[in-house]
Structure 1
Amino acid sequence: MEQKVIFLDTVHPILEQRLTELGFNCIDGSEWTFEETKSKLKDAFGIVIRSRFPMNEDLLANAVELQFIARSGAGMENIDEVYCNSREIVLFNAPEGNRNAVGEHALGMLLSLMNKLHTSHQEIRKGKWDRDGNRGVELDGKTVGIIGYGNNGRAFAKKLRGFDVKVLAYDKYKSGFGDDFVMEATLEALVSKADVISFHIPQNAETIYFANQEFFDALGKPIFLLNLSRGKIVETAALIRAIDTGKVSAAGLDVNEFEKSSFEAFFDDEASIPENLKSLLHSDQILMTPHIGGWTNESYFKLSNVLADKISDWWLERQP
């Protein structure tokens, strides 16, 4: 029987190439509408997705032959894992594929914020030459707190090894990961001691608005905040208040809680932009990027190649 793998998003061609070599029939469904997709999944053996459609029961109930879903990325919040587990649909993701890119992006954002590269560049373009107003802060000697010590948190810690910093890491679901450079810490200790706090956790019911008013009130000193995980980890209103009160010196946001597939549409009608988003856009203490922390030329290949490795291992183990 022919095993069809439907590609609902565009990914690096190495994945299609390697799956074809394994004998799968790879079909491009990246231009299908949601309704078209529902009608064409009946005999799908596998699905490859980034984030175009939610992988929920409404969609997947039509894929009666489905055996696996492969997500080109790390986060799985757009996949109904409970439903998939109930049907024994195997789920693959590829956090190994973009962890280095995330680590580099986090470090770049931090150094830009601490040295005011983003604001001084804009000032120079407007003809303003202000050295004293753009005096920076050095990273050496600081304490960096990493919340979430999976692939991305660990990658960021690795990038920090070239600096004379103390690294504290907290992970609710891991222990025993401390080493000669990274010190395992409680959340309370990290929040009270850190000069920099970087989020690398998944978005789920436990973590939405992790950085809320209570979190910022508990800070032991003003911090530089980084969020390269998911937008709703940080409550924007609470962050704005923390900046206004001096609890947060500056924040680097690769993601934000207003992010969605139609994010660009906000800028077609300024009146539709939420007030809190306007505050982010107009603040010199905020550096934003459009969710590109793990989006490099190299990671584009690695994400698909990692998925190919995982699917290949799984498939070959199933063979008699």
Structure 2
Amino acid sequence: MALSLQKDKIRFLLLEGLHDNALKVLEDAGYHNIENISHALDKEELIEKIKDAHFIGIRSRTQLTRDVLEHANKLIGIGCFCIGTNQVDLDAARDLGIPVFNAPFSNTRSVAELVLAEAIMLYRGIPEKNATVHRGGWGKSATNSHEVRGKTIGIVGYGSIGSQLSVLAESFGMKVIYHDAVTKLPLGNAVQVGSLEELLSMADIVTLHVPDVPSTRYMMKAEQFAQMKEGSYFINAARGTCVEIDDLADALESGKILGAAIDVFPKEPKSADEEFESPLRKFDNVILTPHIGGSTQEAQANIGLEVADKFVRYSDQGDTATAVNFPEVSIPFKENSHRLLHIHKNVPGVLSQINRLFAEAGINILAQSLMTEGDVGYLVMDVDYNDSTAALDQLKDVEETIRVRILF
């Protein structure tokens, strides 16, 4: 199936060393105009590069602010080759008619495995023992060294990662409790508790697996650390903004918490050349990792497949299923038809206006689906291929139009 813009004219800008699977998916689908850059770009260079891009693929370091996006006149799709989308101004992208895709499931196993490994390491006191031996010491002792079997792990956020961790932890003989904003069906013998406070008071080790939303920002601070069991452990592989780091440092200093593992931070270096600053650096009983929860070859390979496939489906079919900021529309093609994609301001009467214009022009609609989100509406229509040019002209005249594309 060809598009209104030929595939060799559609330009993909891929940044931050995305996995080769992403290139393979795009190339196998007929897209070869791809610029693949191994690192993030500074703002000025990014603005220059993005001007001619139809799609951009990024990881966590590239910042797509409203200012940057307003320079991207040709951009029709953004792919975050990771779980998080904080690096993109989602509202600005939607206002400009640009859907944003991510990979919410592809690295869940990698994160869950890391957290379970950290739980075992903390319970055996490995971080401190490792540091001691590196300094020439020999701290051979069973003090505060335990198996994880029989311990209670408290999972805050029972989504894709939290639920998978639940299964892994239970296979090690751990008791699993979890707290989530909504009622979730437990896997195995896990038990949902009614509040965060209840979980903190019951868990031997607490691990966060929540998104970055207003209700989770700095959800763990002095008050919450005080509610945890004496001598418990804490892990955060979710979002850096969930934890007040100074309060965690105080809880570690007092011995209230015996150890922690932190993979994400409120402020992270933009490159390997920038020094990482944190009050947690002084603690031998804290595992600090550079935001690598999903950084395995398996996860990156899966992410490359997942997000690139979403690019292809949107470019070829207008499919926005799973977009994080955009109305989700996915309908099968009709034979002998051309597809029109109409992104417009979400105000009353747009659909009736379009249907009236098409009726007056004698244009038959074979299939139609409209969804809205925020201030934007997304209408996908299949019309007889003989009518597609006239239909496109009609849509361009609709005052609320943000952008319109035709696939044929």
TM-score under structure 2 length normalisation: 0.71
Aligned equivalent of 2:163 = 154
1:122 is displaced (CA, Å) by 3.0
Looking at secondary structure, tell me which structure has more helix per residue.
1
1:11 correspondence with 2:14: no
1:1-320 superposed matches below 5 A: 1=5, 2-24=9-31, 25-30=33-38, 32-132=41-141, 134-172=143-181, 174-186=182-194, 187-262=196-271, 264-266=273-275, 273=277, 277=278, 279-318=279-318
Structure 1: state its 5+ residue gaps: 268-272
TM-score under structure 1 length normalisation: 0.89
Aligned equivalents of 2:215 and 2:271: distance in 1? 26
Q: Residues 151-199 of structure 1: CA distance to partner in whole angstroms, max 9, x if unpaired?
A: 2212221221312222112222x32322332222222321221111101
Change (3 A) 1:39 1:258: closer
Tell me the secondary structure at the aligned position of residue 188 of structure 2: coil
Q: Residues 32-52 of structure 1: CA distance to partner in whole angstroms, max 9, x if unpaired?
A: 542132123233221100123
Aligned equivalents of 1:79 and 1:139: distance in 2? 39
Tell me the secondary structure at the aligned position of residue 292 of structure 1: coil
Structure 2: state its 5+ residue gaps: 319-406
Q: Residues 192-232 of structure 1: CA distance to partner in whole angstroms, max 9, x if unpaired?
A: 21111101122233322111112112224442100111222
Report if the CA contact (8 A) 2:93-2:99 is conserved.
Answer: yes
1:77 is displaced (CA, Å) by 0.8
Tell me the secondary structure at the aligned position of residue 19 of structure 1: helix
Report if the CA contact (8 A) 1:194-1:221 is conserved.
Answer: no
Higher mean Cα deviation, 35-44 or 145-154?
35-44
Q: How many residues align?
A: 310
Report if the CA contact (8 A) 1:95-1:152 is conserved.
Answer: no
Q: Which amino acid aligns with 2:21?
A: I
1:308 is displaced (CA, Å) by 2.4
1:287 is displaced (CA, Å) by 1.2
Aligned equivalents of 1:253 and 1:74: distance in 2? 17
Aligned equivalents of 2:171 and 2:188: distance in 1? 14
Report if the CA contact (8 A) 2:18-2:38 is conserved.
Answer: no
Higher mean Cα deviation, 95-104 or 216-225?
216-225
Q: Residues 91-140 of structure 1: CA distance to partner in whole angstroms, max 9, x if unpaired?
A: 11113221111111111111111101222233234443333265512212
Aligned equivalents of 2:95 and 2:185: distance in 1? 32
Higher mean Cα deviation, 188-197 or 133-142?
133-142
1:89 is displaced (CA, Å) by 1.4
- Higher relative contact order structure (alpha carbons within 8 Å, sequence separation ≥ 6): 1
Aligned equivalents of 2:90 and 2:154: distance in 1? 30
1:264 is displaced (CA, Å) by 4.4
Change (3 A) 1:220 1:126: closer
Alignment RMSD = 2.1
Query: Rg: which structure is higher?
Result: 2
Report if the CA contact (8 A) 2:166-2:187 is conserved.
Answer: no
Change (3 A) 1:132 1:56: same
